Amino acid sequence: MSSLSVPLLIINLAGEMSYILEQRLKAQNFIEDKSVKVLHEIMESWLNKDFLDRLFSPCHIYQLSSMRQFFDRLAHTSIMRLNEASMEKLFHLMTMTVKYQVVTVTHPYELFNVTLNHLDGIRTIMKDNPGVLEYVDYAYTLVNNVYFTLPEWQMSLIRDTMLSFFVDTRIKVSILLREEKQDRLGHFILYKDAVQLPPKASIPGTIRYYINGEHVTSTSFPVKAKYVPNDVTEEEYDKRLQCEPTDRGTALGRNLYLSMTDIQVTRGVTGKDETKPIGDEFKLLSKLLQPKADNLDETQKIVLSLFDDDDATPVRKSSNRRSNSSTSTKVKISKESRTVEAAMKELAIRPTSKKGKGEDLANLLDEAVAETTPKRKASAKKRTGSATSTGSRTPSRSGSVKGTRAAH
Amino acid sequence: MYEFNDGVDLTPPVGAFSNNVSGYYYEPRFTTYVAAGGKHSVGLCQWDSKFDNVKTDQIIMHDETEDVNPVIIQVKLVSPNDRGPPIVVITTLTHVRLYAVADTKHIFSVRQPGFKTKIELTKEYEDRDASGKTTAQDVIANAKEMYQISRGITCVDSYIYVGCNDGSILVMHCNNSRHVTLKPTLKEHQNAIIGLATCAYDYLTVCADVTGDVSVWPRNFKTVTKLIRTKHNISALNILRKHIIVGNYQGLVLLFNIASGELVAEIAAHGREVTSVSVAPESAYMLTASRDGVVNIWKLHTRRPEAFSVRMTTRD
């Protein structure tokens, strides 16, 4: 168990969050400067010296629920407001992608390359904001100096700690399903054709015998899987770790959403966290996320529903507390019994709901009240393993959802 | 040749750390016990020789004082006195704890040596912070590992040995199955210990640290009889008759002669780090497991290991 895994976790998760938000904001055709503003504000709130310094100071490992609260707060440092379901889906998507990355790295040091990929991705998104770019460089310096010199066993422990953090989280995500990285039960498919070996590893299948320190004979044994050696040279390897964006040698951590138009998150299993969250650990870090002063003006908020994959579901009527926001704050929940095929089909026939969201928003801004912020905190704490049962759910909906949730 | 036989569903999902599953066959009652470490609790189960009468149980870790969640690192079933049922040794983030398997009652706990509370560490940071603006160098120097975990558990006669992060070995003596006393720690290694293993025949114990040094201890643990510098990054350790078996992070399995300390064989066995090595001393079988999802079964013929390979499906 290693406390040094916390900065890596947060940087990777925040990187994924920035990719997803950028893609969703574009896909929903928000007013250009507003969406840019949202992203920049979110990135500025954590990419600054105070936060990064604090992040790298020793701190306890968080649980998934605390991490969720943290990212909740991070997402709301801008003028954007996400409804409960959107936030949950965003978090699930972030978590599963980072989990996939941690599980599939060929060797523990590759986590470093994955983190650098995320930093490169953030650089691309934030290319017009020199202030943030400066702190991305600062983050790079910290990551490089703290992790680069760690021995392999410590890096392996960090990776194990990250895996332990993600234990029993199995939520099906359409990107991973589509690329056959995840199966129907939510488990990852690790090796499709061949196994990529870590650097300096020999291809399995041989036994070398030694007498008095001298190699005498070799025999071989049959091996079922195919292994691909890693031929990277020392020079090439060092080049991949430089500050400037470059090919980091792995696709993990890159922005997969650049070419996508739609993202879906299906219901899945999240591990039960029965222990109570650590006292004030996250509050310390969360406090350092400073929203801009003018964000406190409530009429400026953009209320956002990130995942439009449920346009077929009728909008809940007046029993929904959020009925004032009729179009953009629909609570999106995929049906429990939906199969992968049905989900894939919906990708094809998804109606374009981009009917001039800008104008609708302008109307909504008048109606929308910051209604969800206090309630969300309470509901986030009540997560008891069921991914949907939160305090703010209306009885009718939770009844139907719970009814379809078979024994998990 | 080898196929899935049966399964038991345990309540806590199994955790992510290696060597957190342990089995023990209790001969007087022909019962097999298994302990599997989850994240915060250990699942126990037992069955008889026909895989009937399967019983499951759970030990949940609580932490009274600290603000740290007691994550479980390693679990092992040991039998410090041959007459009774085994004891389960659980190493967590903060303590090493012993429980009786028969009634899941807590027997003994000892704090991890070198563990600092969060308050102590935060104070160090704040002291430094108060002195002026922190530079990147300050932050880097301050980014230290907070946890001191113990890995490597073994049992010889009525003593339980646990390896610690600073290279020392915790020694606990069990008078009977309920009474445990802490003895002076053994200090030999300077680096974190990754594994401890004892040979069932001659009671020699080997202890490996993360830099690749392996020390050999006799039954009475008076002094080290041999120190072998393997120069490999060891991730798993075991002992079988006259050989020390070591797994590394590149998937190699190496066999060293215990008397001479020489490398005898080097097997390119896996495509990922070797997480665990298990032995069956009577029949000279060896099992190696790795993160590539493969469990290899080897037969040791004095010098030449022969392999039967088994592929298992991976779960995340």
In order, the DSSP letters of B254-304 are EEEETTT--EEEEEE--SS-EEEEEEETTTTEEEEEETTSEEEEEEEETTE
Q: Which residues of B touch A158 (CB under 8 A)?
A: none
Q: What is the mean pLDDT of chain B?
A: 82
B314 contact residues in A (CB cutoff 8 A) = 187-188, 190
Give the pLDDT score at A401. 35
Smallest CA–CA distance, residue B184 to chain A, in Å, is 25
Asked if the structure places residue A274 within a domain, the reply is: no
Task: Examine the domain organization and report whether B213 and B183 are in the same domain.
Answer: no
Tokens of A184: 């129907």
Look at residue B193 and tell me if it is in a domain. no
Sequence letter at residue B283: S
Of B60, B142, B235, nearest to A57 by CB-CB distance is B142
The answer to whether residue B307 is domain-embedded is yes
Q: Is there a contact between B316 and A187 if contact means CB atoms under 8 Å apart?
A: yes
Does any domain span residue B269? yes
Half-sphere exposure (CA, 13 Å, Cβ side) for B304?
8
Which residue of chain A comes nearest to B267, CA vs CA? A207
Note the pLDDT of residue B107.
86
Nearest CA in chain A to B121: A58
* Whether pLDDT at A343 is above 60: no
Does residue A287 belong to the interface with chain B, where contact is any CB pair within 8 Å?
no
Tell me whether A173 touches chain B (CB under 8 Å): no
Which residues fall within 8 angstroms of residue A87, CB to CB, at 6 or more apart? A72, A75, A376
Closest among B245, B249, B239, B290 to B263, alpha carbons compared: B245
Q: Please calculate the CA angle A326-A331-A333 and round it to the nearest 5 degrees.
A: 145
- Residue B238, pLDDT > 90, answer yes
Q: What is the pLDDT of residue B127?
A: 60
Give the nearest partner residue to A164 out of B39, B262, B292, using CB atoms. Answer: B39
Higher pLDDT, B2 or B143: B143
The ipTM estimated for the assembled molecules is: 0.86
Predicted confidence (pLDDT) at residue B38 exceeds the cutoff of 50 = yes
Say whether both B168 and B297 belong to one domain.
no
Q: What is the pLDDT of residue A301?
A: 67
Query: Quick check: A128 pLDDT over 90?
Result: no
Place of tokens 């199966």: A183
How many folded domains does chain A comprise? 1
Whether residue B195 lies inside any domain: the answer is no
Last residue of a domain, one of B157, B187, B217: B187
Q: What is the pTM of this model?
A: 0.78
Q: Is the pLDDT of residue B247 over 90?
A: yes
Evaluate whether residue A83 is within a structural domain. yes
pLDDT for the residue A95: 92
Integer Cα distance of B83 and B96 in angstroms: 23
- The Cα B26–Cα B21 span in angstroms is 16
Same domain, B183 and B106: yes
Q: Which of A160, A158, A187, A2 is nearest to B19 (CA)?
A: A160
Q: Does pLDDT of B195 surpass 50?
A: yes
Q: Is residue B192 part of a domain?
A: no
Residue A31 maps to a domain = yes
Q: Which amino acid is at A262?
A: D
**Cross-chain Cβ contact B270/A99 below 8 Å:** no
Residue A371 lies in a domain: no
Q: What percent of chain B has pLDDT over 90?
A: 26
Can you give B26-87 as a three-state secondary structure string? Answer: EHHHCEEEEEEECCCEEEEEEECCCCCCCEEEEEECCCCCCCCCCCEEEEEEECCCCCCCCE
End position of a domain, from candidates B131, B159, B187: B187
Residue B288: strand pairing partners? B277, B296
Among chain B residues, the shortest Cα distance to A188 is held by: B316
> What percentage of chain B carries pLDDT values higher than 70?
83
The domain total for chain B is 2
Q: Which of A149, A193, A207, A278 to probe the B interface (max B CBs under 10 A)?
A: A207
A191 touches chain B (CB under 8 A): yes
Residues B170, B246 share a domain: no
Decide if B316 and A279 are in contact by the 8 Å CB cutoff.
no
pLDDT in tens, A19-77: 998 888 887 776 777 777 888 888 888 888 888 888 888 877 778 888 888 898 888 88
Q: Considering the domain boundaries, does residue A110 fall inside one? A: yes
Q: Are residues B159 and B257 in the same domain?
A: no
Within a domain: residue B279? yes
d(CA A38, CA A295): 11
pLDDT at A270: 56
The arithmetic mean of pLDDT across residues A292-318, rounded, is 51
In a domain, B106, yes or no: yes
Domain carrying residue A124: 4-190+233-241
- Residues B107 and B231 both lie in one domain: no
Domain membership of residue A278 (yes or no) is no
Least confident segment among A275-289, B144-158, B236-250, B255-269: A275-289
Show which of B139, B159, B187 is a domain's final residue.
Answer: B187
Q: What is the CATH number of the domain that holds B241?
A: 2.130.10.10
What is the band of A292 on the pLDDT scale with cuts at 50, 70, 90? Answer: low
Residue A368 lies inside a defined structural domain of this protein: no
Residue A336: the pLDDT is: 35
Interstrand relation of A80-82 and A302-304 (parallel, antiparallel or unpaired): parallel
Q: CB B142 to CB A227 under 8 A? A: no
For strand A214-220 and strand A206-211, is the pairing parallel, antiparallel, or unpaired?
antiparallel
Confidence of residue B200 (pLDDT cuts 50, 70, 90): confident
In this structure, the answer to whether residues B171 and B221 fall within a common structural domain is no
Note down the domain range covering B20. Answer: 1-113+148-187
Cβ–Cβ of B251/A202 closer than 8 Å? yes
- Do A164 and B17 count as a contact with CB atoms less than 8 A apart? yes
Put simply, the answer to whether A145 touches B136 (Cβ < 8 Å) is yes
Reported as type and span, the H/E element at residue A265 is none
Q: What per-residue confidence (pLDDT) applies to A99?
A: 92
Model pLDDT, residue A200? 84
Asked if the Cβ–Cβ distance from B265 to A279 is below 8 Å, we say: no
In a domain, A61, yes or no: yes
